[in-house]
Structure 1
Amino acid sequence: MTTSPTTAVLIPCLNEEVTIRKVVEDFRRELPEAKIYVYDNRSTDRTSAEAAAAGAIVRFSPERGKGNVLRRMLRDIDVDRYVLVDGDDTYPAEDVHKLLSTLDEGWDMVVGDRLSSTYFTENKRPFHNTGNRLVRFSISKAFHADIRDVMTGYRAFNRLFAKSYAVLSDGFEIETEMTIHALDHKMRVTEVPVQYRDRPAGSESKLSTFSDGFKVLRLIFRLNYQNRPVPFFGGLGLIMGLAGLGLALWVCILFWQTGQVQRFPTLIGATMLMLFGIISWFTGLILQVTAHHSRERFAFESNIFLSTVDSTYGVTGASDLNKSGESAPESAAQH
């Protein structure tokens, strides 16, 4: 007997009184069997009352910041499929079927791509457009990924992603961290185009273009040296080493011309730069080994986790087999 996968819609909220009722009602219409959770992040308006009146399960997260809210959500809620969406009514609920149907094909996370549809025409904040392009370029180069919309707030993911993801960020940089976590741990990630619309009148964004943008760039910088240590420290070491070598050659040329070492401070500085370059390179190699062992442990623990979950959801090919009334073969479950 085949059972349908359980689904939860996660809506973190802060002062979304104007829009939250419509968001909850739209998702209740599109996903009548799903549980809809609204986590109120210390709102000062009627967000909680409006969400409860629309039929959502309302809970409270006292620590300010979207990352703090998501951390609490993933600890509290245990289902097969998770849908994360903002409470500002910028993402149409109708697109959730595209996200979930793609997730059901065996992906670990499906990203709702705004940038391929209406984002650049609907969004009225030009610096946000520039920031999205910059973040996408940085992550694509660092992690060799072709994810177009890294910072979207509309995405679906399975239980494996939800329970293996240690939320470290506190604020709006959380979406970038989610994407990098999935890419770095070789999880199955794809994206589907979704529509985007600007906030309705009376609804105000909590996103600060410059301060939150700086946090995102700082996060990318940190995750680069943590997860890609050889390119980061190796590149830094190469720059210092070449600079030191160039200065040393200049001093040697002067010595060859005059027969005297005329610039001892420059020679000492060049030697130190070359030493720092070598140290930086070996630091990257050591950290690369550590990062590799961390990924191996993650893969091992993920396999253990999946073996303890009493469900075939997320097993590649299992959904097709279940439709015909057959059980998933042992070989399919191992992949």
Structure 2
Amino acid sequence: MSYDYTFDDLAVVMGTYNEEAAIGTVLDDIERVTDGRAEVVCVDGSSDRTPDIARERGARVVEQEPQGYGVAVKEAVLTPDRPVVVTTDCDDTYPMEALPEFLEFVNDGYDVVSGDRLYHGAEAMPAFNRAGNAAFALLASALCGRRVHDTTTGMRAYRRDLLHRITWTENTGLSAELLIRPLMRGYRVREVPIEYRERAGETKLDPLAGGAAIAKSIVKVCLEERRRQLG
């Protein structure tokens, strides 16, 4: 099945938390690449000027008490009414120039289009994080029975109806869950190599505690989906 979605059918969403150093650049890039036609939704728990900068650039800001990455991003992906939803991070690490390619794959019938940061080496990513992300991908591949290359990327396109059909349960591990559950339920998933840039601003995630939480989520979600398959 093919579709004829355009940027008028696209929403770009993100959870934002004290990203005033980068949010303006990210929103300007979305505006430039989509000719201002994409809807932008920020679910925000910031104490700095992030929400003000977002509103100044025309984004829809949903205020939320800080409760972690997954709580914000879950709210963000379920908020838009447009049929194609793209997640990104607000730290300027992801290339908005990839949006046309992502939309093209959705139009070709893919339900999820996932940006693979590791394909080109992700040299801007700290080596510890890079090794961890490669390990997450190997763990997920072994448990779900299909090779995946980047389970924790923050940039993906989804068909909106898929996002509302599945119950999302994870917080720190939501990014992996957003890939694994559709994959194990037979949705069409495509990984696409993307460039990954050095982040603007300080990271909020503790790599050790966050990594452990992500690995736990991968195991939990894969086992739940296996049980679901067995009926």
Give the alignment's TM-score, normalised by structure 1.
0.64
Deviations 1:108-163 (A, max 9, x none): 000011111241x111x222111111111111111121221111001101022211
8 Å CA contact 2:140, 2:219 repeated in 1: no
**Residue matched to 1:151:** 152
2:90 maps to what in 1?
87
Equivalent of 2:220, from 204, 219, 222?
Answer: 222
Q: The residue matched to 1:176 in structure 2 has which SS?
A: helix
Distance 1:224 1:156, change over 3 A: closer
Q: Does 1:162 align with 2:163?
A: yes
User: In structure 1, what is the Cα distance between the partners aligned to 2:11 and 2:114?
Assistant: 16
Question: In the alignment, what sits opposite 2:38?
Answer: 34
Cα shift at 1:169: 1.0
Shift of 1:50: 1.0
For the 8 Å contact 2:117–2:195, the answer to whether it is kept is yes
Distance 1:118 1:30 in 2: 25
- Give distance in 1, aligned partners of 2:229 and 2:146: 18
Q: Taking every aligned residue pair, what percent have the same amino acid on both sides?
A: 29
Quick one: distance in 1 between partners of 2:5 and 2:155? Answer: 26
More strand by share: 2
Structure 1's unaligned 5+ residue stretches are 229-287, 294-335
Shift of the alpha carbon at 1:26?
A: 0.7
1:162-311 alignment runs, 5 A limit: 162-171=163-172, 173-200=173-200, 203-228=201-226, 288=227, 291-293=229-231
Work out the CA distance in 1 between the residues paired with 2:112 and 2:184: 13
Residue 102 of structure 1 corresponds to which residue in structure 2?
105
Q: 1:67 aligns with which of 65, 70, 80?
A: 70
- Per-residue CA shift, 1:24-54, capped at 9, x if unaligned? 11101111211111111x2111100111112
Deviation at 1:98, TM superposition (A): 1.3
What's the CA shift for 1:226? 2.3
Task: Please give the alpha-carbon distance, in whole angstroms, between the structure 1 residues aligned to 2:116 and 2:207.
Answer: 20
* Greater relative CO, 1 or 2 (CA 8 Å, sep 6+): 2
Does residue 9 of structure 1 match 2:12? yes
What is the CA distance between 1:63 and its match in structure 2? 4.5
Higher helix share: 1
SS in 1 for 2:65: coil
Aligned to 1:237: none
Would you say the 8 A contact 1:8–1:37 is kept in 2? Answer: yes
Q: Which runs of 4+ in 1 moved over 4 A?
A: 2-5
- What is the count of residue pairs matched by the alignment? 226
Question: Unaligned 5+ residue runs, structure 2?
Answer: none
Distance in 2 separating the partners of 1:118 and 1:29:
27
Q: RMSD in angstroms over aligned alpha carbons?
A: 1.7
- 1:11 is paired with a residue whose SS is strand
**Residue type of the partner of 1:292?**
L
Distance 2:124 2:78 in 1: 34
Structure 2: distance between partners of 1:133 and 1:100? 26
Q: Is the 8 A contact 2:111 2:188 kept in 1?
A: yes
